[in-house]
Amino acid sequence: MANKWVVRPEGVIMVSLVLLTFSCTRRVQGLPFPAPDFKNCNNSEGCCPPPYNGALIQDFYVFDPTLPMRIRQPAHLLDDAYIAKYQRAYQLLRELPDSDGRSWKNQGKLHCAYCNAAFYFPIDKSRLEIHYGWLFFAWHRFFLYFHERILAKLLDDDTFALPFWNWDNQSTDPPLANVLPYAFANKKYQNKSSSLYDVNRNVCTKRPNIIDLQSTLECVNQTATLKASLREANNRIMYNQMVTGAPIRRLFFGESYELGGVAGLGAGTMEAIPHGTVHFWTGNPKATVEFADMGIFRYSAYDPTFFAHHGNVDRLWEVWKALPGGNRKDITDSDYLNTEFLFYDENGNLVKVKISQALNHISTLRYKYANVPNLWIHSGSDAAYKSCFPASTTEINKMILNTHALNTSNLNTFANSTITFSVQRPAKKQLHGEEVLVIGGVNVTGSEFKFLIQAFLYFPTANVNTSITCPQFFGVLSNPALTFGDTVPDSKKEWRLALTSKLQSLSMDQFSHVVVTLVEATGSFPQYLQLKLTAKIVYFEY
């Protein structure tokens, strides 16, 4: 039986009497998900793809090594000839009949079904959900691969590759990477209706607006000053979510999830922000169905930007593994590697894949990404900014003495949009692995989804006007608008923030407690957001 994520029990420190149960170790299922049967699909939102009536389901064990190596290019650098081909591919896809499993409609339904827990397994009543856990990256890699191969087949061009939207690139050199790519931005292209256009896009995406990786749906006039601030904040988000916030695979990929387990217990650092906020920023909050298309699971794959967006997410998976530090590795758990999915291939056949087949995308899937600069590695680092709250050792110790632990006997409330509390750290001799602050009890009780909580260390005066460029910033939580038929109680979800490298970068690793300030960054506490916060510090094994 495979070992799941392990938390050292001796590393657990409870700050107060917790009313919500936290487990120091995950329940071990020991079984990977088998490929779902499309007949076992139940969803009230119309997600289920049509039952498969074709030939026998094929295994993806024999791939075609003769395929040319395809190079996925950044969308902001595409020339007119490539955009014309790209547009032609989607026009042909949209013309396929609904009876074809490869069709535009069925591609959207396939994503909807996997992302809305529509597939079920009668043997133990499990439902498969590929978000908020370790299935996220691999499933989307396969989805993009087969979608790309379908487009290539329609074009009769095996060299065709999907472009990626390089939204993490905050360079001011034209053409800009952090705006909606030109290929998607126009209703018409070369005097023809564009198959890459989607009517359900947020007004925020109008060029030359640049992306906001902390999007809370507010669109404001982007002055030169505001754009400069957004670029800095975007770089900080990228650095935190990729570097200091994700030094180990458990934090990057999210919580384990096996057959019979509970879905949605913990997304990796990249999944909610910036992945979720790019969806949020792109989808139209005033559409007939709120947040359609990109802003909600069941519709997001109906906007062609979905595939360019996820191309960049997939690229960043590879970037993360190449960052300095020997702990950034793919998951080796057998339940993860043997989890199976079904996809329609370019010939309209259902194909069964295993996650293990997605890990070496160069040799197995035959694609690469064009090299682009990852400017946030340097410009978003802690070293690039001065401390916003410099304090001596004596002042920090006094701060710790004057700061209370969380009181979970009542609902926690933001006073002037902030909450500050202390958490005791485990003894140094117990150190083994990454020290992680785990926060629970952020509960959403209504149909609204607009909140953004930022976390700061040893900065009790942080507030809604505090910039995340401050080195004391170390995490951000947003409830994405991408809701699904979620059966996971909010009280079971946890927010995990890496501490080891952050404390070292602040030269504050010597203190017995951490002092945490949470800021509700939208400036007004939403009534549907209830807090019964709990906090603890644990060690996650490397």
Catalytic option among 76, 275, 309, 513? 275
Residue 70 CA to residue 29 CA, distance in Å, equals 38
**Which range, of 6-15, 215-224, 473-482, 524-533, averages the lowest pLDDT?**
6-15
Q: Which two tokens stand for residue 322?
A: 């190449």
- β-bridge mates for residue 455, sequence order: 475, 518
pLDDT at 141 over 90: yes
Domain definitions of the chain by residue range: 31-379, 385-540
Is 275 one of the annotated active-site residues of the chain?
yes
> Same fold for the domain at 31-379 and the one at 385-540?
no
Which one of the listed residues 111, 147, 309, 361 is annotated catalytic? 111
Q: Please tell me which residue in 38, 142, 146, 297 is annotated as part of the active site.
A: 297
Residue 495: closest CA among 451, 443, 453, 439: 439
State the pLDDT at residue 256. 92
Q: Quote the pLDDT of residue 19.
A: 24
| Per-residue pLDDT, 492 | 66
In contact, 376 and 239? CB cutoff 8 Å? yes
Span of 43-47, 280-284, 442-446 with lowest mean pLDDT: 442-446
Is residue 446 predicted with pLDDT exceeding 60?
no
Work out the average pLDDT over 390-406. 94
**513 catalytic residue (yes or no):** no
The answer to whether the beta carbons of residues 479 and 384 sit under 8 Å apart is no
* In the predicted structure, residue 509 carries a pLDDT above the cut 50: yes
CATH class entry, domain 31-379: mainly alpha
pLDDT at 483: 44
When pLDDT is averaged across residues 528-538 and rounded to a whole number, the result is 81
Q: What is the pLDDT of residue 272?
A: 83
Active site includes 140? Answer: yes
Q: What is the pLDDT of residue 468?
A: 95
Residue 200 — pLDDT band, cuts 50, 70, 90?
very high
pLDDT score at 112: 93
Catalytic member of 309, 310, 361, 513: 310
As a whole number, mean pLDDT of residues 181-194 equals 85
Reported confidence tier of residue 4, pLDDT bands at 50, 70, 90? low
CA 443-447-448 angle, to 5 degrees, is: 80
| Active-site entry in 76, 147, 279, 513 | 279
For β-strands 350-354 and 340-344, DSSP reports them as antiparallel
Whether 430 has a pLDDT exceeding 80, the answer reads no
Residue 297 a catalytic site member: yes
Tell me what pLDDT residue 263 has: 78
Residue range 355-394, pLDDT digits in tens: 999 999 998 899 999 999 999 999 999 999 999 999 999 9
* CA 36, 42, 45, 46 torsion-angle sign: positive
Q: Is 164 helix (H, G, I), strand (E, B) or coil?
A: strand
- To the nearest whole number, what is the mean pLDDT of the chain? 86
pLDDT value of residue 479? 65
Asked if the model's pLDDT at residue 278 lies above 80, the reply is yes
Q: What DSSP designation does 195 have?
A: T
CA dist 301 and 310 (Å) reads 10
Statement: residue 16 has pLDDT above 60: no
Lowest-confidence segment of 263-272, 499-508, 510-519 by average pLDDT? 263-272
Give the DSSP H/E element, type plus range, for residue 530.
strand 529-540
CATH topology of domain 385-540: Jelly Rolls (2.60.120)
What is the pLDDT at residue 30? 64
Reported as a single tens digit per residue, the pLDDT across 408-421 is 666 777 777 889 99
Confidence of residue 529 (pLDDT cuts 50, 70, 90): low
Tokens 């530090």 belong to: 325
Give the number of other Cβ atoms within 10 Å of residue 534's Cβ. 22
pLDDT of residue 166: 98
Strands 70-72 and 367-369: parallel
Q: Which of 33, 38, 140, 421 is catalytic?
A: 140
For residue 250, is pLDDT > 80? yes
Q: Is residue 126 over pLDDT 60?
A: yes
Percent of the chain with pLDDT over 70: 87
pLDDT at 11: 41
Give the residue-averaged pLDDT of 187-196: 82
What is the predicted pLDDT for the residue at 97?
95
Q: Is 310 a catalytic residue?
A: yes
Percent of the chain's residues with pLDDT above 90: 61
C-alpha distances out from residue 494 to 121, 447, 455, 488, Å: 26, 20, 14, 11
pLDDT at 14: 32
Exactly one of 131, 309, 361, 513 is catalytic; which is it? 131
